[in-house]
Amino acid sequence: MCVDRDYWTRTINFDLLLEAQVISPADLHLLRFADDAESAWQELAAAGIQTANPRPILRTSDEGLEMMPSG
């Protein structure tokens, strides 16, 4: 997952890697791009990625740590 397509396509010349046969077209199809963390998570979820051991999300409050509902 590459967050910020513009950054990654400026940083790594994927077309040159393909042309030099460093990567294959199939390799390139494995890449996923997202604009931000939320869209990255949506892309991963759409691909069927799940956490093997989900952990509760904790938030600090005036009373201490508070468990947030997951999902």
Confidence (pTM): 0.56
The helix (run of H) or strand (run of E) holding residue 18 is helix 14-19
* pLDDT value of position 17: 95
Q: How far apart are CA 26 and CA 23, in angstroms?
A: 8
- pLDDT tens per residue, range 7-66: 999 999 999 999 999 999 999 888 889 998 888 888 888 888 776 656 656 667 777 766
Phi and psi angles of residue 62, each rounded to the nearest 5 degrees, phi first: -60, -25
Q: How far apart are CA 9 and CA 23, in angstroms?
A: 15
